[in-house]
Structure 1
């Protein structure tokens, strides 16, 4: 299990970022702010609608998470930002007194809402919940995030799914830059909090560089790389990280949005990324998939029906250590809620352990060895499973 996160005493009254060690392009350090310190590289569990699905907040914290992500689109629809403020803000509402990052809602507006119309002023759309009409401008996105009370707020951007033609990618990137400036003005100066810009540009290197340079001119507290993990191959994603990274300040955090698999995380950390979020470990847990040091295990597979081994007998996480694969298989096949809870618990534990392992490896100057050993363990386990399937 990850390091015990007793980091409140190290928090800063201001938003600060420091790099403690580097290993190639990879770095480990900390973001500090009034509600706590985020050890980097960091994985943020996704708490879309004020909950990390199938988890208690205390469990999420105990696994080593220093920060969670909330979603502006979903929270603006239910329970609503003004109501959230009256109820004491998102931290109090969900019993998470530690840092929270909120995304702008732009991606969900583009992907979930019906009858959306986008122009210079923002996005007009109908809720996927009840069909009600809403308008999201850059200013309103930042206003909503402020009403929620989040510690790190994201600019509103237009995210284009790949593959896409250059005119669409270029138009979205330029609009996102203009919206970033408006978000920056709306955010103003908020001591102890931060607004991040989002680098867009699809899979086109020149547009990515233009976007990064334009955002850096705004002198923001941090920079995200968006519009990846939306259909492109991993090689394209990594190439875009390598394109953007040299143009981002070394003294500010870098956040790769919506990524990803354990291998994605390791390869991206090696290229200088500090922060990640992804629904993958929680969504996989609700669908019978376990992430472990032996790779990904599908508990729906009939071969686990009489497998008395735990997912990982060496894990500090009870979900991985104290329940047999046969029992987990049974829970998954019978759609029992406990199966979703245990596998989500296991998966988030594995992700936090992976991040902790990378932080330690960077500090020791051996990230490449750590990544190689991790991939070798996955490959050995996969070969053993394939052999067992043939034998069966």
Structure 2
């Protein structure tokens, strides 16, 4: 049989594209093929199993600023289907949401299964045909249809939609069909700092800090988490996203500068001087001027050879200058990265100028469509990558028939 549309990939983008294809064209024959035995794997594990569905950033011009790659291309699509539309769609299926202080949006159940069931029930209700453990061995493009061969069957379809995520095979198919692939490299990872003097403080969080990759213009501000292997937290993950290509080129060997107090060196020194003047008989540990965690503050003093029992009157101006330098220009040698194997995001994929973002159709190969992470689009942590999946899946699904 000749299908109207075959979608390769049963993740968020693929399932949402299938649903919207059937909603737009109820009589169309839509088939979704997934190579694994389960659907929606990343949805299941996202946010520690809670599923960070989207982000409470409802203005497209602001929303696109959260995408190191894809910012310009997503502006139009986010006007068509943005976070508010995502929330409305899931709420219409009975899902209730909550917004956390940082803008991340989760189902009230705190269970990713709530999102999975909403999607699968809708897909089944619309009679989307889904086949699992289907490994495509050969993909052929004919004048008016595509042929897909597995060990079990031969499928033919008028339209083909690739929603294969960061699968190497998906990139190979896109390349075979004429597309250029931007080299896939990891994004959203943590920094390994084997020589860190702070590893004994694993689990301590500091906010806000300013981060910079020395020798570059890459910087970020936000919360940081000290870990047993180095540094993590939102600011580190954001820095890794914007610096993903540079850091890959450097083989993840780089110098990280941390400004723990998010002030200039001069401002910090002035605050320390004022404390010495106004509270001469207090210790620096008693006058924690920057609201740093006590153990971190104590560690900095120990590293600099300043006794935390000494009163401020006994501490020299040079020692205060050294402390100001440490607090605002602390340097660490990064020696690699750590990614959560199943939750990682990939920078790279199908070159964006080769895709029409009004329809998500290829500009090179007629009747070929794309959605989700196969494109050279990636967002920072916070629900932005799922929003890309919902948006591109929605547009591709509606346009691909």
Higher helix residue share: 1
> Where on the TM-score scale, by shorter chain, does this alignment land: which range?
under 0.3
Q: What is the TM-score of this pair, normalised by structure 2?
A: 0.23
Greater relative contact order (Cα 8 A, min sep 6): structure 1 or 2? 2
Q: What is the TM-score of this pair, normalised by structure 1?
A: 0.23
